[in-house]
Amino acid sequence: MKKQYFGTDGIRGRVGSGIINPEFILKLGWAVGRVFSRLATNNEVVPRVIIGKDTRISGYMFESALEAGLVAAGVNVSLIGPMPTPAIAYLTRTFHCTAGIVISASHNPYYDNGIKFFSAEGKKLPDDIELAIEQELLLPMQTVDSANLGKVSRIEDAAGRYIEYCKSTVPSEFQLQGKKIVVDCAHGATYYVAPMVLRELGAQVIEMGAKPDGLNINQGVGSTEPEALAKAVLEYQADMGVAFDGDGDRLLFIDGDGKAIDGDALLYIIAMDQLRTKGECSGVAGTLMTNLGLELAFKKHHIPFARAKVGDRYVSELMHQHGWSLGGESSGHIICSDVASTGDGLVAALKVLFAIIGSGQSLQALLSDLTMCPQLMINVRCDKAVDLDRDPAIVAAVADIEQQLGDNGRVLLRASGTEPLIRIMVEGQDEQLVGQLTQQLADQVQAIVS
C-alpha cells in the first residue's frame, strides 16, 4: 500500500493547512497510541511514549494535541520540552519507552511543523508501522475507559542526561582546551545543550542562534544558511565554527578561513580518523547526492562505499545491510551507529573534533588530499504531482544534459520528501559547464511543471 501522510521523515507541512492542524494531530496521537499498544512487549505494562520538540511556536499546540490523543488511547506520556531530535531517540532507548515522538520541521521555517517517530530502539519507524498508523487514522476515534486512560509526566533532567551521553561518545581524556569555537544553534533545539557540551569539554564557546523566540528558528542562521557563521568565525578569529539545523540532527563546520565543510567532507574526516585510530574503516554509506570526489577518495584508501536513496533512514538501512558503522548525507546528516541509533549533529561534531585534536591537524589539513568534483543543486518549486522518471519532456531534458556531460559527470533529479520541490543536481569536472547545465535544466524543468 502507498502511504498517504508519511514522507521520508515523518509528517510535515505548513501549520494550519492540510493535515498540520490540531484536529488531525490529536487523532494521529490516538492512532499512534493504538498501534504501539499492540506492539508493547508486555501486555500488562502500559505503553509509554516520550514527546520532545524544537523551538517553533506551534510546538506547544501540537504537543498538547498529541498528548491528548495518546492518553485517550490509554498510553502514558513523558514530556521533555525543547530537545534535539537525536536526544529523543536516545531517551526513548534509555527510558525503555515504547516509542518516541518529535514535533519538528527540522530546517524549515517557523510556519512549518511536523511529527517524527522513533521506535523503542531509537530508530526511524519501518514502513509497515507507518502504514498501520495510517490504517488507524481511517477509523472513528474512541476513548478508552476512564480507568485505563494514560497518565502524563515530565522528565526534568532530560537535558543533563543527553549532555552526559554526548560526552560519553568520545574518550574521557578528550579535551578542547585552547580551542575557540563559534556554535550556531539556528535558534533551535540545540540552543542549550550544544554550547554546554563544548564548554564542559573545555572549549571557549561563542554562541550564535541561541536565543529562540518561537519565530526565529532557522532564520538567517543554522546549517542551511552558514554565511553568518563564516563571518563570525573570521570576526572572532576562531579556530572553527559548527552549525546545527533547527532540530539538531544535521550539521556543518566552518574552518578557520571561513570555508564551509559539508557532510561529505565530514564523513571523510571521520572515516580517515577511524583508519588512523583503528587501522581500518569497515565502509561508508552515502546517498545518490554524495559527491563523486568522496567516492574516489575512499576508493584510493580501500574503504568500501555504497549509495542509498536520499534520506537518513535509507542510509541507516544500507549501513545495517553491510554491517558498517558510518554513513551520512551531503546535507550534514551523519550517522555514527557505533554510538548512536540515528543521525546526531552534536555527536558527529564531537567525532570531527576528536579527529582534529587526535591528529594535531587543522580542518584544512585533514581535507588537503580530498578533491571534490564541482556539483550544483537548484531547487525548483512544483505544486503538482510529476513522475520524474516517466514524464517525456523531463526525460528528454535530462538526456540532453547527460549527453553534454558525457562520461565526465552525472545528473540527478528527485522530489523532496518534505517540501514541494524538485531537487536538480548536476556534477562534473568543469565547474563552469556544471553551473551552465544546472541552470539550463532547472529552467527547462520549471517550464514543464509550471
Concatenating the DSSP letter of every residue in 77-137 gives: EEEEEE--HHHHHHHHHHTT-SEEEEE--TTS-TTEEEEEEE-TTSSBPPHHHHHHHHHHH
Q: Which of 58, 106, 119, 325 is catalytic?
A: 106
Q: What is the pLDDT of residue 99?
A: 95
Task: Identify the three-state secondary structure at position 263.
Answer: helix
pLDDT tens for the chain, 450 residues: list them: 788 999 878 999 999 989 999 999 999 999 999 999 987 755 657 899 999 999 999 999 999 999 999 999 999 999 999 999 999 999 999 999 999 999 999 999 999 999 999 999 999 998 899 999 999 999 999 999 999 999 999 999 999 999 999 999 999 999 999 999 999 999 999 999 999 999 999 999 999 999 999 999 999 999 999 999 999 999 999 999 999 999 999 999 999 999 999 999 999 999 999 999 999 999 999 998 899 889 989 999 999 999 999 888 899 999 999 999 999 999 999 999 999 999 999 999 999 999 999 999 999 999 999 999 898 999 999 878 888 988 999 999 999 999 998 877 889 998 887 778 999 999 988 899 999 999 999 999 998 988
Q: Which domains does the chain have, with CATH numbers?
A: 11-158 (3.40.120.10), 179-259 (3.40.120.10), 262-366 (3.40.120.10), 375-449 (3.30.310.50)
CA angle 25, 221, 361 (to 5 degrees): 120
For 342-379, b where at least 16 C-beta lie within 10 A, e where not — what string? bbbbbbbbbbbbbbbbeeeeebeebbeebebbbbbebe
Q: Are strands 251-254 and 240-244 parallel, antiparallel or unpaired?
A: antiparallel
DSSP 313: H
Residue located via cell numbers 572549549: 203
Which residues, at least 6 apart from 421, have a Cβ–Cβ distance to it below 8 Å?
379, 380, 381, 382, 415
Q: Is 292 helix (H, G, I), strand (E, B) or coil?
A: helix
| Core vs surface per residue 228-256: b (16+ CB within 10 A) or e | bbbebbeeeebbbbbbbbbbbbbbbbbbb
| Cβ-based neighbours of 4, under 8 Å, separated by 6 or more | 134
Q: Assess contact for 99 and 92: CB atoms under 8 A.
A: yes
Sheet of 112-118, strand order: 11-14, 112-118, 99-103, 48-53, 76-82, 152-154
Please tell me the predicted confidence (pLDDT) of residue 406.
85
Neighbours of 298 (CB within 10 A): 22
d(CA 386, CA 393) in angstroms, rounded, equals 11
Element (H, E) at 306: strand 305-308
DSSP 7: B
Q: Which residue has the cell 539550463?
A: 440
The reply to whether the predicted model has a pTM over 0.85 is yes
Torsion of CA 291, 292, 293, 295, to 10 degrees: 100
CA angle, residues 358, 242, 184, in degrees to nearest 5:
150
Active site residue 106: yes
Comparing CA positions, the residue from 18, 19, 24, 77 lying closest to residue 53 is 77
User: Within the chain, what is the greatest distance between any pair of CA atoms?
Assistant: 69
pLDDT tens, position by position, 301-334: 999 999 999 888 899 999 999 999 999 999 999 9
Query: At a CB cut-off of 8 Å and minimum separation 6, what does 252 contact?
Result: 223, 226, 242, 243, 260, 261, 262, 263, 266, 332
Query: Judging by beta carbons within 10 Å of its beta carbon (0-12, 13-18, 19+), is residue 226 exposed, middle or buried?
Result: buried
| pLDDT (0 to 100) of residue 41 | 58
Check if the beta carbon of residue 247 is closer than 8 Å to that of residue 253.
no
pLDDT at 44: 59
- Which one, of 370, 295, 284, 292, lies nearest residue 334 by Cα? 284
C-alpha cell at 34: 493504538
Distance in angstroms (rounded) separating the CA atoms of residues 397 and 406: 15
- Which of 132, 123, 133 is CA-nearest to residue 92? 123
Length of the chain: 450
